[in-house]
A and B are shown apart, each in its own frame.
Chain A
């Protein structure tokens, strides 16, 4: 079912929250202030691994202006949190496992006093051995970080017989790929205000990607009813997966309850770096074999993920990496084994791409190395092994038929023909190269996981079409998606719409604003509600105007008669039917999943991307400049053109940073770069001047699932394309990100003396 698209212009409209953000008028939750508001600060561990021998808050309590100090003794409910299982203490009692572990929280009249109070809290630690390498954590003699040991999760998939398969291969490539710890680097650090209400309820104004989940977790910690907690979770100044898990909420809530005052906590960048989640560092070993004509016969994968001190979404990230290890290729013999391991290195968790970025870097690296071994064009080699429309999913499960893989590869092939004709660098010590990579990326939480969706349409007493979703606007452009879809469906104007999101007291359950699912679920919800809603409105208009319902339609500002005459405005309609029951249409359903998936978390709906990168390598320094970054995306119809482009370009730049400069280094459990002066993300000067995004909107006949989300797909295949481009330019294969100029320069220098003149 193709989406009913309106003109391109409509899709290109300015996002509703754009002017407020550009002018600075829009208030984020961290901008809020309330009368009598206190400021909260959290004392975090100075040790990456230690026993806590004592915590003394006496001195700090005596500091004038300090209103409350809470420790583990003050947690009324469960002293733990975690999206999958609550193994992270809210406030540590006897042990710390990373430098972000919270030990106490202070509420005071000013930030400065709260800060000073932190200095006065005395914690006596007994240092324990710090585990920084997953491999060592798995050693039987390693100290156990958790009661069940240091293995958080193991995920496995196999089909055929890889060893027998390798015997049939003429070429086998084996490589280990190392991926860094990346920081989300959202502009707005974690924070907000927690307000105790007069009726004993609690309102939490803190950004998150799933308000209802925060409510659930907080109720468990505070020993409160979920219905007594209201989460206002939108808007956010960026999240990228990093704010899905609880961050400052429990501390703000405990302090608000202890003082009966609103408490604001807003992490500084250093606090955010220290406590916040990161992308999983992974070490991925792949052994892949082909026959002499280039058919992939066997593919053996071992993934070791460093999940840090606590679980959060670590198991799901690993599952995702395992699922995507075969990529969009058809391979008869596969064996994938993944482990996610506890260490004392920060906490790794959800991050845009969700394990797909890491495994795709390894897989596409294998593809390019195999193509070289076969002396075959890398695109032709991919084409030869590519999934077809009706192929099963990567783990053999039934998936929605799609030609996405073929389409994106075809599209990038066209772009490649254009680019190779361009003049290469004229500078003596610079060389250029191009690289292509592709990816497949599942949407939704996957099989075997609660993944409810839903929405609500109502007609308000003010004459507005109210659209409500339990999603959050974290900068991704959700509001524009909702507005565009409603305008398209009901042909109304911006002014006719009232959007309600990010407030557990007034939104329906829609599931999380994660996993590239929000756009897709908004579209699906509207499809389910639109006809009922429209006919209810039109029936009411008939009642009021006396005009035949078949001659009426919804349009700009109201109900139109025979398409050319506004016969009653929405406002008039509301005014004249105030006594009538509210028009309200709701839907709830689950994100579509594969009917026969054998591995938890595997997907049914996939998006695809291809990337063409052109780079310039400086032979004197090893410096790499990305000159072009083109992407072709197959994710169904475009909903919001600028939002789509923004996601792909923005995702591309985030991945450029991942490829070339971003690494949250840790030394013995401590972050080396604790601020953006040393943790470098790309500036506009690092962004290629040309970035083309091609949207392939095609869906298979009978596909009822509509647009797939594009929140993550733009980040997936960028790194392998850049690394292939570097190889094309220099002949040097890179297996570790971010690309080390030193390694590259060493490789280049090993070619002997230069001809200087």
Chain B
């Protein structure tokens, strides 16, 4: 049992592998007694709550593959590659390097001390991070290492399974034409988990019809979700109040948030519908 400042935390081994293979082997060797760790900002809060700290922590700090950023051309499409080890603060501070949607998402996470340590990879891997809806709205891919090989997977697929692969980098299509929004609601203005986070993007063609609509939602206790049905309903449509009201209802039905001690699912659905519809209305008119 780990509590704040107890001996077992001091007894924990921290491994500093320098290659993916080495990191993977360590995890394999120690199994359940080991965990990968990047910034550790979330894991630390778990230990403070009395959860076990694994006896082996495998740091990803020295993993070159997870560092840096750059442009990559895949199948004719240009992507921005973000190493999984990029800190949230680095993302927040570099408007010229990264898409405004990512910068906006990073800006709204936790507090400076957390953003200084917390990484994009960790934010995705923990399953509830607020970068996820932003990345889903942008059709991001992940580059993963599964112990045998490196491969890429759309983030929208990654979130559907309990994927245990290491996230090496995130690939975000470079697309300056799409309209997008990102909104996060918390119980106070800063340094607290999200009640609900919504992100979306779409193109508006010359006939003022919506195309390539992406809607993604998540929350501190709500798994990230794409609203495929609602996207479908918006795809190719021109906006009218009546149509938006229909979209509003579909979102309310499609989105499945959790109820936690501080907010009900009903409330979260209401906010989600309000936000998505109002943002689309704002951006499309």
Contacts and interface: CB of A to CB of B under 8 A. Distances in A.
A742 B275 contact: no
A625 B187 CA distance: 11
A661 B187 contact: yes
A623 B192 CA distance: 15
A579 interface: no
A683 B112 CA distance: 13
Interface string A669-692: 000110101101011011000000
A742 B267 contact: yes
B6 A757 contact: no
A428 B188 CA distance: 22
Interface string A77-114: 00000000000000000000000000000000011100
Interface stretch (A254-262, A459-467, A716-724, A748-756): A748-756
B267 A756 contact: no
Contacts of B192: 677, 680
Contacts of A678: 261-262
Contacts of A742: 263-264, 266-267
A163 B263 CA distance: 41
Interface stretch (B90-98, B151-159, B237-245): B237-245
B213 to A, nearest CB: 16
B278 A675 contact: no
Nearest to B245: A753
A686 B45 CA distance: 23
Nearest to A110: B7
Interface string A717-757: 00000000000000000000000011001000100011111
Contacts of B185: 621, 623
Contacts of B6: 111-112, 115-116
A541 B77 CA distance: 91
Nearest to A657: B188
Nearest to B262: A678
B212 interface: no
B189 interface: yes
**Chain A residues touching B, majority SS:** loop
Interface in A642-687: 660-661, 665, 667, 672-673, 675, 677-678, 680, 682-683, 685-686
A116 B285 CA distance: 63
Contact of A680 (B49, B188, B244, B274): B188
A33 interface: no
Contact of B267 (A672, A745, A754): A745
B275 A621 contact: yes
B12 interface: no
Interface in B241-285: 241, 244-245, 248, 261-264, 266-267, 270-271, 274-275, 277-278, 281-282, 285
A1 interface: no
Nearest to B239: A757
Nearest to B261: A672
Interface in A103-140: 110-112, 115-116, 119
A756 B277 contact: yes
A665 B261 contact: yes
B223 interface: no
Residue from A677, A682, A745, A757 whose CB has the most chain B CB atoms within 10 Å: A757
B1 interface: yes
B1 A685 contact: no
A620 B278 contact: yes
B48 interface: yes
A675 B48 contact: yes
User: Range of interface residues on chain A?
Assistant: 35 or more
A757 B245 CA distance: 11
B191 interface: yes
Contacts of B189: 625, 683, 685-686
B275 A682 contact: no
Interface residues of B, number: 38
A268 interface: yes
Contacts of B13: none
A756 B188 contact: no
B47 to A, nearest CB: 12
A226 to B, nearest CB: 36
A621 B271 contact: yes
B43 to A, nearest CB: 14
Contacts of A582: none
B190 A685 contact: yes
A268 B5 CA distance: 10
A620 B239 CA distance: 19
A683 B190 contact: yes
B281 A675 contact: no
Given A685-B190, A756-B244, A112 B5 contact: yes
A367 B274 CA distance: 34
Nearest to B280: A756
A429 interface: yes
B4 interface: yes
B198 to A, nearest CB: 11
A683 B281 contact: no
B59 to A, nearest CB: 24
Nearest to A665: B261
A112 B7 contact: yes
A654 to B, nearest CB: 14
A625 B240 CA distance: 31
B188 A682 contact: yes
B271 A620 contact: yes
Given A112-B6, A677-B45, A756 B270 contact: no
Contacts of B281: 756-757
Nearest to A749: B270
Contacts of A110: 7
B27 interface: no
B244 A115 contact: no
Contacts of A682: 188
B99 interface: no
Contacts of A665: 261
Contacts of B262: 678
A663 to B, nearest CB: 9
A428 to B, nearest CB: 8
A741 B278 CA distance: 18
B278 to A, nearest CB: 6
Given A682-B188, A756-B278, 19 more contacts: A111-B5, A111-B6, A112-B7, A115-B6, A268-B3, A620-B274, A620-B275, A621-B275, A623-B185, A665-B261, A667-B261, A673-B261, A677-B192, A678-B261, A683-B188, A683-B189, A742-B267, A756-B245, A757-B244
Which 6 pairs of residues, A with B, have the shortest CB-CB distance? A685-B189, A620-B274, A685-B190, A756-B281, A756-B244, A112-B7
17 contacts: A115-B6, A428-B282, A621-B185, A660-B188, A665-B261, A675-B49, A678-B261, A683-B188, A686-B189, A742-B263, A742-B267, A749-B270, A753-B245, A754-B278, A756-B245, A756-B281, A757-B241
